[in-house]
Amino acid sequence: MNDLTMNRRTVLLAGSASLLAGLMPQMTLAQSNNAARMNVIAFPEPPTLFIGLDQNGSTQTVSGKIYESLLSYDFDFTPKPGLAESWDVSEDGLTYTFHLVKTAKWHDGEPFTADDVVFTTKEFLMEVHPRARGIFQNCETIEAVDEHTVRFTLKQPFAPFLMGFEMSTAPMIPAHLYRGTDFRTNPNNNKPIGTGPFKLAEWNRGSYIRLEKNPDYHGEGEPHLDEIIFQILPDAGARAVAIEQGQVQQAQFFDIEMFDIQRLSELGNIQLITKGYEFYAPVARIEFNTRVEPFNDKRFRQAICHALDKQLFADAIFFGLGKPATGPISNRTRFYDADVKPYDYDLEKAAALLDEMGLKPDANGVRRTVKFLRLPWGETWARFAELVQQQLALIGIKVEIEPADPASWTSKYANWEFEMTSNYPYQFGDPALGVSRFFVSSNIRKGVAYSNCTGYENPEVDALFEKGATATSDADRQAAYSAAQKILVEDVPMAWLVEVDFPTLLDKGYEDVVVSAIGVNETYRKARKA
């Protein structure tokens, strides 16, 4: 930006930047030498960098550079080598054999071997990682064939098994440091030892985390960057300014408020990337509690689906970062099927359904008053609730918004004390991993959030999800999931509104940063300065 372009906005920015200076931790690291360095926002500050025990938010982004799993995934979920060079799957879909990279070493110099894989998947994850447990409990045996070969034998076919070697699902944990210890209190939890391309160099709490290049990394000539510095910026305004002024080169997920994305992406040196979130691919949706009047009536739920203008939600709530959803599975997740009942925005159809139910408008035009438990995760979800309220008013459904703090939201949601609420859970690439949990009747578990909280029960759907998880051919799986999607979209236990695109803002001076379905949480072994 040259001097001539100084305009009012720049002056304003300078002002707000100096205002925010107090909120921003000083970026004290020397930026002068020629080291290939990348500054990335970490928000919120990770509680720990030990990915084995915490897979929330920014922990993945930072630890993803330190820890690895056996596989990586292309944008369409094709598995690619990670710590495993190659792998074989038996015809019956019961035996998976992984051939490990032979040169991989832990950051403390110990060699990475098949024993570490067995320890991690058989002992460590089964004890501390519920999502991984869901995958590896399907194994009959897990054994080290030789020092660099591991064999998993399944009890019955589990089709998404290969999807289970993503970094946050099955991070490899060093057996020599953890075996036989109390995993949760192991002192090594504070000094992460992985096999990844970067090692922890310095963690100045509240300010920054500095990772440095792992010179012994198994990838030939990798990594290309010398340092990655994660800047801890708790204030949203400060994060936007940091991107704007080039103090950081990357922001991801919801680091930058949605309304600022458009503006920042037009800065010239910044590019907006929405790829690299395929593994997460959330669908913003309204969950109905199908146990309570009038949500127990399919027609009422369908009427709501017709009354909500999905495109408006995408545009007004998510500022164009997303597109209308058609059903429970995102089009970026495997086995998506677009051929389902369409719920076009049609107030007459909605009204007709309500009339059919006998819900007539009273003198004020109100047919029914319902409650909406507001998701307490910031302005976006407050606007979301308001737009629901605004749109349903048009068909005579009066929505009372019920405010909640995060703890009480989770508690009410998990204990079914709601009528409607919104949500956008990750799908983890495969319906068997991230979708079926919300619909199968076996997962109706009171007190557990992100289970089947709507109370939807349909034996046919249960059977289809079962079949989708165990069928060995993709064609069979697709058939099962297509059928399941048709039924679910007919029954609408939820109103699926928007497939949300997370944005990554990245300095144009970097290349090969977003290369996989987990995008910014990837190892960055290939990332480099242009």
Binding mask 291-330 for other proteins (x = CB under 8 A): ------------------------xx--------------
Q: Which is nearer to other proteins, 342 or 378 (CB)?
A: 378
Q: Shortest gap between Cβ of 257 and other proteins (angstroms)?
A: 6
Query: Smallest distance from the beta carbon of 204 to other proteins, in angstroms?
Result: 30
* CB contact set of 30 (below 8 Å; sequence gap of 6+): none
Question: Does position 473 bind other proteins by CB under 8 A?
Answer: no
Is residue 385 part of the contact set for other proteins (CB under 8 A)? yes
Name the residue type at position 303.
A
Q: CA 407, CA 61: separation in Å to the nearest integer?
A: 25
- Tokens for 220, please give them: 């030939």
Structure tokens at 110: 């110990």
Is 403 one of the binding residues for other proteins (CB under 8 A)?
Answer: yes
Residue entry with tokens 């995008």: 519
Is there binding between residue 211 and other proteins (CB under 8 A)? Answer: no
Q: Which lies closer to other proteins via its Cβ, residue 173 or residue 388?
A: 388
Q: Which stretch binds other proteins (CB under 8 A): 87-95, 218-226, 379-387, 463-471?
A: 379-387
Give me the 258-297 binding string for other proteins, x by CB under 8 A, dash otherwise. Answer: -xx--x----------------------------------
Residue 235 interacts with other proteins (CB under 8 A): yes or no? no
Question: Judged by CB under 8 A, which of 394, 406, 473, 509 binds other proteins?
Answer: 394
Q: Does 386 bind other proteins (CB under 8 A)?
A: yes
Region binding other proteins by CB under 8 A among candidate stretches 19-27, 397-405, 426-434, 472-480: 397-405
User: Given candidates 213, 367, 374, 437, which one binds other proteins under the rule CB under 8 A?
Assistant: 374
Contact indicator for 398, 368 with CB cutoff of 8 Å: yes
- Does position 387 interact with other proteins (CB under 8 A)? The reply is yes
Residue holding tokens 């997460």? 280
Structure tokens at 126: 């089964």
What does the alpha-carbon distance between residue 323 and residue 226 come to, in Å, rounded to a whole number?
38
415: contact with other proteins by CB under 8 A: no
To which H or E segment does residue 144 belong? strand 139-146
What is the three-class DSSP state of 469? helix
Residue 362 Cβ vs other proteins, minimum distance, rounded to whole Å: 15
490: Cβ contacts below 8 Å, ≥ 6 apart: 298, 340, 341
Contact present, 255 and 41 (Cβ < 8 Å):
yes
Please give the Cα distance from 213 to 66 (Å, whole number): 10
3-state DSSP call for residue 393? Answer: helix
Whether the Cβ atoms of residue 284 and residue 422 lie closer than 8 Å to each other:
yes
Distance in Å, CB of 238 to other proteins, minimum: 15
Chain residues in the site for other proteins (CB under 8 A): 9, 257, 259-260, 263, 315-316, 374, 379, 382-383, 385-387, 389-391, 393-394, 400-405
